[in-house]
Structure 1
Amino acid sequence: MANGEFADGFPGEMELAQTYGVSRGTVRSALRPLRDSGAITAERGRRQRVVESEDGLLFGPLHSLFASVQAAGMIQRSTILTQAVTTNPRVATQLGLSPSTPLFHLARVRFANTEPLGWDEVWLPNALVGPLLEVDFSHTALYKELRERCGITLDGGREELRADIADALDIQYLACDPGEPILRIHRVGIHAGAPIEVRQGRIRGRRYAVTTQFGAITADD
């Protein structure tokens, strides 16, 4: 994908199954993280394609916990804490909006199999994402629904990760120990050059690792 090999279209499931000599179910499982993270389209009735911009290949959002859990072969599910329209002057300011702008607010506890892995809150302008109010987010990815129901794929953003220790809410939602390491994530997601998402995430430090690749990588690395 990064080398532009699929500029004319991404192969379908049957074609990939025949090429690699595996079942269609295996192909579907392998493609799921790419679809959920927005790296390739998944529009019903249309040939899937790699999501690109003028600056080259876009691998969807900076971090998709849903896709990470699925890629690890575990079952992702969520317990919904809040799913409503609200106002939040601090968040609206980060999005460059009036403090009284209605925002879609989603808060979830995230599980990998049966174990709580993290919890997060996300805010988006409700005028752009109204259909998300009707979605059951217990077993689906926000970015998948944002793409399919609202026609929006994040194409950039800023993300900050900080090490911290569990506070009272982390202990309550994640059943973790006082003082347990927590990875706190703050993200502003960009679409078409404008900020549309603010996200605050907390992930259990003992259950998650962040790996970054940079520079020239050889087969021996």
Structure 2
Amino acid sequence: MPAGTLVRNGAAPLWAQLLADLRTRLDAHEFDAAFPGELALVAEYGVSRHTVREALRRLRDEGVVVAGRGRAPRLAAPMEIEQQLGAIYSLFSAVEGTGRVQRSVVHTLDVRADGVVAARLGREESTPLVHLERLRLADGEPLAVDRVWLPEDLAAALLDVDFTHTGLYDELARLCGIRVAGGRENIRAVIPTEEERRLLGIGPGVAALAIERLGSSGGVPVEWRHTLVRGDRFTLTAQFSARDGYQMELGPNRP
């Protein structure tokens, strides 16, 4: 892109114009071989180093490029978590199984009442529930916003757990003697809200998957979970055969 196409004194700041053009060029695969360094971008676009760094910071926050002090920016390796449909899984284990470090930012860990969730768990509406809300990270990159509710009479011991780097199912088994062995999931594509996009570090062009899970132990519901996961980082797969096929239930998207 010729430097003259950047509009000086335009409505959009130069870094925003540069960012938009870099995204266009990334989509066109211009940088698949190598991503240009700061000085190369300064020379090509005729802008200051500060302008280039601001545009690169946004790309870094989006997980598109990796740029550190003293290191040339480069395209980030795509991170994708693949999960088999019909299997009991832990997002913690799925991330760590790829060789990445899973960490969580705990937003909420308390006891509260939620009549709708309690009913889904087959409990009275006033049943106290342990509620855990986390932002799940893979190698420091936002992956999912995870919210889970469990009956307090089963899961009170979880209130003392540091969930920064551990899996809920591991702690549920260790402290409460409960193993989630089955259940039901509803998975649908959604358009994240502005706040959800901010938490997940994604732009308006990235969709998300909403996963609702009713987890059971011994046939008894013990967990209701709602997970919003980045659609560009999470893949669901299914096995099938000509003899057995596979079962799929289609239903309307719920708001």
Relative to the length of structure 1, the TM-score reads 0.68
1:174 to 200, 209, 219: 200
Aligned match of 1:159: 185
Note the C-alpha offset of 1:216.
Answer: 7.8
SS of equivalent to 1:99:
coil
- Paired residues in the alignment total 158
CA distance in 2, matches of 1:66, 1:207: 14
Aligned match of 2:172: 146
Relative to the length of structure 2, the TM-score reads 0.59
Aligned match of 1:120: 146
**Aligned pair in 2 of structure 1 residues 102, 192: CA closer, same or farther (>3 Å)?**
same
User: What's the CA shift string for 1:62-84, capped at 9, x where partnerless?
Assistant: 33111110111100000001000
SS of equivalent to 2:212:
strand
1:145 maps to a residue whose letter is E
2:234 to 203, 208, 217: 208
1:70 aligns with 2:115: no
**Aligned pair in 2 of structure 1 residues 210, 135: CA closer, same or farther (>3 Å)?**
same
1:16-165 pair list within 5 angstroms: 62-165=88-191
- Identical aligned residues as a percent: 46
Note the C-alpha offset of 1:61.
Answer: 6.5
User: What's the CA shift string for 1:101-135, capped at 9, x where partnerless?
Assistant: 00000000000101001111000000111110000
Note the C-alpha offset of 1:169.
Answer: 3.1
Aligned match of 2:217: 191
CA distance in 2, matches of 1:102, 1:181: 33
Note the C-alpha offset of 1:168.
Answer: 2.5
Note the C-alpha offset of 1:178.
Answer: 2.2
User: What's the CA shift string for 1:42-101, capped at 9, x where partnerless?
Assistant: xxxxxxxxxxxxxxxxxx973311111011110000000100000000000101111110
Task: Extract structure 1 runs of 4+ deviating beyond 4 A.
Answer: none
CA distance in 2, matches of 1:111, 1:202: 13
**Which blocks of at least 5 consecutive residues in structure 1 are unaligned?**
1-59
**Aligned pair in 2 of structure 1 residues 83, 158: CA closer, same or farther (>3 Å)?**
same
Is the CA contact 1:118–1:203 (under 8 Å) kept in the aligned structure 2?
yes
**Which blocks of at least 5 consecutive residues in structure 2 are unaligned?**
1-85, 244-255
Larger radius of gyration: 2
CA distance in 2, matches of 1:131, 1:83: 12
2:180 maps to a residue whose letter is L
CA distance in 2, matches of 1:153, 1:209: 25
2:138 maps to a residue whose letter is A
Note the C-alpha offset of 1:212.
Answer: 1.8
CA distance in 1, matches of 2:108, 2:132: 5
1:134 maps to a residue whose letter is D
2:134 maps to a residue whose letter is R
CA distance in 1, matches of 2:94, 2:226: 17
**Aligned pair in 2 of structure 1 residues 141, 216: CA closer, same or farther (>3 Å)?**
farther
SS of equivalent to 1:129:
helix
